[in-house]
Amino acid sequence: MRILGFVVIFLSILVAILASFTGLGEALPCAGAGLLDTTSFICVIGSVIGGALVAYGSELRTAFKTDPTRTESITAVGFYKLSVRISIGSGFIGTLIGWIAMLGSMGSRELNRAELTGGAATSLITSLYGLTFAFCLFLPLQYYFQSQLDKDS
């Protein structure tokens, strides 16, 4: 399970790199007028899933139980704490990838606006996804399971 986690992390960051430096970003489906980006979503959620698999392995399923025991709640709190950190971190990794792509496109003789703005968009959207998942999904779930632990005490 842990090896699978490392593979998932590697592939999700690789998708972000390839989309920023090649035409892969145009091949992936993208809906919406700029706020829905498949590459950024894969970068953030893939890293969270991979990191969780590395850290928790087969115990990961306990973080999704609706009526957890005390031990399962402790595991769930740890999982969601880790998810907050990984989603913020992978958002900033995507930001750096986008900046590198954007600045790399400025070094060519002909300034390609599409490459420049594509790198900037990847940068901002990946940060947005990382922060949104961290503070609007994983942190509330962490506090929910923490409150379950506090009730049992």
pLDDT tens digits in sequence order for the chain, 153 residues long: 668 888 888 888 888 777 767 766 555 555 555 667 788 888 899 999 999 999 988 888 888 887 888 888 888 899 999 999 999 999 999 999 888 888 887 776 677 777 677 778 888 889 999 999 999 999 998 998 898 888 876
pTM above 0.95, yes or no: no
> Amino acid identity, residue 44?
V
Q: Domain residues of the chain, as ranges?
A: 2-152
**Please, which residues have CB within 8 angstroms of residue 94's CB and are 6 or more apart in sequence?**
16, 40, 43, 44, 122, 123, 125, 126, 127, 129, 130
